[in-house]
Amino acid sequence: MSATIIRFPIERRIDRSGVVADCAGDSNERHLRAQAVDEGLSTDRLGASQGEEQWVGQAHHVLDHVEDMIADGEAAEAGALCERATWRLLDAAYDIDDTVSLIELVARLRPLHRAACHAAPPEPVRLADFVYDLAHSDQLGVLHDVIDPYVELLGPTGLAAVRRRVQADQDALRRLSSIGRRIEEFRLQPILTSLAKATHPSAV
């Protein structure tokens, strides 16, 4: 299998004290890394100069770099790139026929994001928005157990933010058709189950 290599635009050097240093400015590197994620997970070339197998290999290559960043102590930026990559992968669901490989990529990305968050905990409400949006996404069908692994990181503040999002969506149910209401209730059920387990772990 061949794949287009998307290089993360960073060169690193180690000085004599063993400290790893970047050779370019932090803000510029962050922008270029985000751009590399966008390009590496883009499906714009599919069917023209790129096949799905190549795209999958390229996507794993991008995640290899993000994983290396966590190991290199750049967890905060890696966490942000994981979230960016998550949405790019979900967007790709409309263009990729190989759903199994796409699900495998998302399954690989989810623990990478959690590892980054454990190493550099994000602000709980912002994290709550990310995990809720992921749990409520529909590109790959209903996703289960999205919130559960983040309960400790979310804490009371983050969980309260998730509950507010649930309540807002439940309040909006009355404006939906009966079919739309049933679909939305089905989508919310795994989130409600996760919240119940977070509140009363032994009751579910």
pLDDT digits (tens, 9 = 90+) for 21-61: 343 457 898 999 999 999 999 999 888 888 999 999 999 99
Task: Provide the total of helices (H) and of strands (E) in the chain, helices listed first.
Answer: 7, 2
Whole-angstrom distance, CA of residue 204 vs CA of residue 190: 12
Whole-angstrom distance, CA of residue 47 vs CA of residue 60: 19
- Amino acid, single-letter form, for residue 22: D
Whole-angstrom distance, CA of residue 129 vs CA of residue 168: 13
Domain coordinates of the chain in residue numbers? Answer: 1-120, 122-204
CA 31 to chain CA mean position, Å: 18
What pLDDT score was predicted for residue 1? 37
Strands 20-22 and 12-14: antiparallel
Q: Is 20 helix (H, G, I), strand (E, B) or coil?
A: strand
pLDDT digits (tens, 9 = 90+) for 72-124: 999 999 999 999 999 999 999 999 999 999 999 999 999 999 999 999 999 99
Whole-angstrom distance, CA of residue 171 vs CA of residue 152: 27
pLDDT digits (tens, 9 = 90+) for 3-14: 444 455 434 333
Whole-angstrom distance, CA of residue 188 vs CA of residue 136: 7
